[in-house]
Structure 1
């Protein structure tokens, strides 16, 4: 029979997941990837770079909220 996770284990796992998410989004918002999207292209009249940053930011908020709610 497996022991259930204690609150400290759950808290530790949540912290590790949130740290991973923070690192991932740090990488997604550094210059090499931003530079790849920094060209004259537009999607529906919106510059591609702005769209990339906005979608990345929304994904960060959604993933963080999902991880926090899932762990409680």
Structure 2
């Protein structure tokens, strides 16, 4: 017989997921990776570094919104 999950357990898992996401995106926005994208190349007329930072920001907002609204 499966154990029903308690609301406290769901909140703890959500907090752990959000912590993981923040650490992951913190690593993706640190200098070594930013240095990889700091080139003279342009995407749609914008520098590659700006496109990378904007894409990461959009992804952070989307993933965080998904995790906060997701019901277990």
Question: TM-score, normalization: structure 1?
Answer: 0.96
Aligned residues: 72
**Corresponding residue of 1:13:** 13
Point out where structure 1 has 5 or more consecutive residues left out of the alignment. none
Q: Deviations over 1:3-31 (max 9, x none)?
A: 11101000000000000000000000000
Aligned partners of 2:60, 2:17: CA distance in 1, in Å?
A: 12
Point out where structure 2 has 5 or more consecutive residues left out of the alignment. none
Question: TM-score, normalization: structure 2?
Answer: 0.96
What is the aligned-residue RMSD (CA, Å)?
0.9
